[in-house]
Amino acid sequence: MLKLLTITFIVLFLLAQKVIILPSVEAFTMSNANYVIEMGNLNSVAGKSTGPNNKLGITVGEIAPGLYSGTNFKVRAGFQYISSIIRFRFSISNTDINFGVLDPTSPVIRTNILTVSNGSAFGYSVTATESGQLRNPANGAIIPDTTCDAGNCTESTSAAWTSTLTFGFGYRCDNVTGTDCASGFSTSTFYKQFPDISKGESPQAVMSGANVGRNKQVQISYKANVSGTQAAGLYSNVITFVATPTF
């Protein structure tokens, strides 16, 4: 039997925003033979005004802010409209995945929940990587990333993993609320590898969405299965999730 296996998580947030700098505007007197228009200046205001009993958000100069929708589209127009909806938040229900003692040919599955609240007009994504394969530092033994039953699943391609004689470590994603799981998991037996940064593999999206919403949730299932020849010991690695809103 194998001793305890643990996975530790690192959670990162990346925030991006665009800053628009407007050129200066000068006043003009516009006239012809029939009229004279005198303009002293062009004023614009924006920001948040607060007092002991009030809070007021101000945006001036937008032509058509608001929500516009039809059969095949939805437009949320205006910085004030977008910024007032939802703040970006990301959380993980459990950051210590403990597989306990693994018995050969007896797969163990552990889960946690990723939750995203997103108000960005251009959506968001959550990517994942692993620090390396599950490793026992005492003797260098590893539990390899699964290649699934047919030997064809990778960090970017999912495949069926049902056989108790298929060994390794992998994950899958299932929607809890919303439909934000990455593609490739529509079949309940399909799994992928985590991208291995020690091998130079690129991060892969595990969750993404194009619409605003609160508390969108997915369940990540972590599966480990070992053979009878797997060396006993404590195996671990680090999974890193990076949540990024898009502006």
Whether 35 is covered by a domain: the verdict is: no
Q: What is the mean pLDDT of residues 169-192?
A: 95
What CATH number is given to the structural domain containing 111? 2.60.40
Task: Check whether 86 has a pLDDT greater than 60.
Answer: yes
The Cα–Cα gap between 143 and 136 comes to 9
pLDDT score recorded for residue 31: 73
Whether 74 is covered by a domain: the verdict is: no
Task: Check whether 1 has a pLDDT greater than 50.
Answer: no
pLDDT score recorded for residue 21: 40
Whether 104 is covered by a domain: the verdict is: yes
- The confidence band for 3, taking pLDDT boundaries of 50, 70 and 90, is very low
Whether 60 is covered by a domain: the verdict is: no
Whether 33 is covered by a domain: the verdict is: no
Cα dist from 84 to 19, 49, 59, 74, 237, whole Å: 18, 15, 12, 17, 39
Greater confidence (21 vs 106) lies with 106
Q: What is the mean pLDDT of residues 52-64?
A: 68
Whether 26 is covered by a domain: the verdict is: no
Which amino acid makes up residue 126? V
Range(s) of the domain holding residue 228: 5-16+87-245
Give the predicted TM-score (pTM) of the model: 0.71
Whether 79 is covered by a domain: the verdict is: no
Task: Check whether 227 has a pLDDT greater than 90.
Answer: yes
Eight-class DSSP state of 80: H
Q: Are 195 and 202 in contact (CB under 8 A)?
A: yes
Percentage of the chain beyond pLDDT 90 is 58
Count structural domains, the chain. Answer: 1
Nearest 5°: CA angle at 181, between 131 and 195? 20
pLDDT score recorded for residue 2: 44
Residue in the structure block whose two tokens are 């609240």? 117
Whether 238 is covered by a domain: the verdict is: yes
